[in-house]
Structure 1
Amino acid sequence: MRPTITEDVITLRSPVLANMSDDEFFDFCQLNSDLRIERTANHEILLMSSTGSRSGKRNARLTGQLYSWYAQHSQQGEVFDSNTGFTLPDGSVLSPDASWVSAAKWNALTTEQQDKFAPVCPEFVVELKSATDSLKTLQAKMLDWLRNGAQLAWFIVPETETAYLYRPGQPEPEVVQGFEKELSGEAVLPGFQLRLVELR
């Protein structure tokens, strides 16, 4: 097994990894809980470095704003932080920086499914670029979210104060320039407004 290293991501490929069951992958992640781990649809294992302190600060502020909205709309669904993995319809296991799953989807899962990498695609996801993240890799990941069922996906780049808003059926994302603006949760998260200025 020869790893491929691209920027801050190490990609592991092996027939053993390709044949790993969902439960075995979950156990693998628990045994290596100090690493950020995802799995592609081809069952390649992605090992990522921890984020820096500024990225952690921004992510906390992002999740905090989402949670504040959730506190007023808790009957509609559940919010999740960046440590949460989801098993998507294409077999990949991805972890967005923040996400929301409707109550209908979440309540349809068993307790055992909820305790592992839940087999569900969040309707809403946010990816927040850190200084070491690859722009191209994260842009491709946003399309993966849409292909698996996300209804609204935001990719936020603090360095350039740019937000890319992805929606199903749109060939290109909407681009919002400037962190003095706010992003709307639209019909997916009615009433949610993300204050981008807090992510500076």
Structure 2
Amino acid sequence: MNIIPVIIPQTLRVTQEQFEQLAIANRDVRLELTATGELIIMPPTGGNTGKRNIEIEGQLWFWNHQTGLGVAFNSSTAFRLPNGANRSPDAAWVSQERWDTLTSEQQETFPPLCPDFALELRSKSDNMKPLRQKMQEYLANGLRLGWLIDAKNQRVEIYRQNQDVEVLESPMSLSGEEVLPGFVLDLQVVWR
């Protein structure tokens, strides 16, 4: 099978409606849309990143299942941020109170809100600069707590409203603080 690259001109801008149609027609392709209408096609992850993603998502899901405080999401979920971007964090969480303000239709499509918590896990092929910009975009759209995990360098950047980014070197765990009360992410499985 021949692989044919898709080249999208930088002048092409996609509307929200077009993005939704593209996403529905290409369910196996991870897509994001920037606030300026640029379409981003994200490559699939490798085995180690996929393994780390499921470990993280599983821990978040289990905590949420026990507490019932909100709704946890995996990397397949795109959120329509207030600035018009459609972003898919590697893991996310929304409080039950905020989730319940959405209509059934809004919950079924790309939820029109920024998660309370979002996590990005650096893949081997990822450049840190775009990931940091994405984390800042989440903050600008209402994110309360964000973690950017760089497994390659065993480093975590913590993003909070109205605070400088905190950088941790080789932490063994992360606290969900007041946003995810009682949640502690075990990073030992991520560093392996």
**Percentage of matched positions with identical amino acids:** 41
- Could you list the per-position Cα deviations for residues 118-167 of structure 1 after superposition, in whole angstroms to 9, with x for gaps in the alignment? 10110000000000011111011110010000000000000010000010
- Could you list the per-position Cα deviations for residues 62-108 of structure 1 after superposition, in whole angstroms to 9, with x for gaps in the alignment? 0011011111111x210000000000000000000001001111111
Structure 1 runs of 4+ off > 4 angstroms? none
| CA 1:182–1:30: 2 relative to 1, 3 Å | same
Shift of 1:23: 3.3
CA distance in 2, matches of 1:36, 1:12: 19
User: 2:167 matched to 1:169?
Assistant: no
Aligned ranges 1:1-200 → 2 under 5 Å: 13-14=10-11, 17-18=13-14, 20=15, 22-74=16-68, 76-170=69-163, 172-179=164-171, 181-200=172-191
SS at match of 2:55: helix
TM-score (norm 1): 0.89
CA distance in 2, matches of 1:109, 1:13: 34
Aligned residues of 1:11 and 1:44 also touching (Cα < 8 A): no
CA distance in 1, matches of 2:96, 2:28: 30
CA distance in 1, matches of 2:11, 2:73: 31
| CA 1:193–1:12: 2 relative to 1, 3 Å | farther
The aligned length equals 187
| CA 1:69–1:40: 2 relative to 1, 3 Å | same
CA distance in 2, matches of 1:66, 1:166: 18
Most deviating of 26-35 and 182-191: 26-35
Structure 1 unmatched runs, 5+: none
CA distance in 1, matches of 2:9, 2:97: 35
SS at match of 2:148: strand
Letter in 1 for 2:185: L
Structure 1 vs Structure 2 CA RMSD? 1.7
Aligned residues of 1:85 and 1:93 also touching (Cα < 8 A): yes
TM-score (norm 2): 0.92
| CA 1:61–1:12: 2 relative to 1, 3 Å | farther
Structure 2 unmatched runs, 5+: none
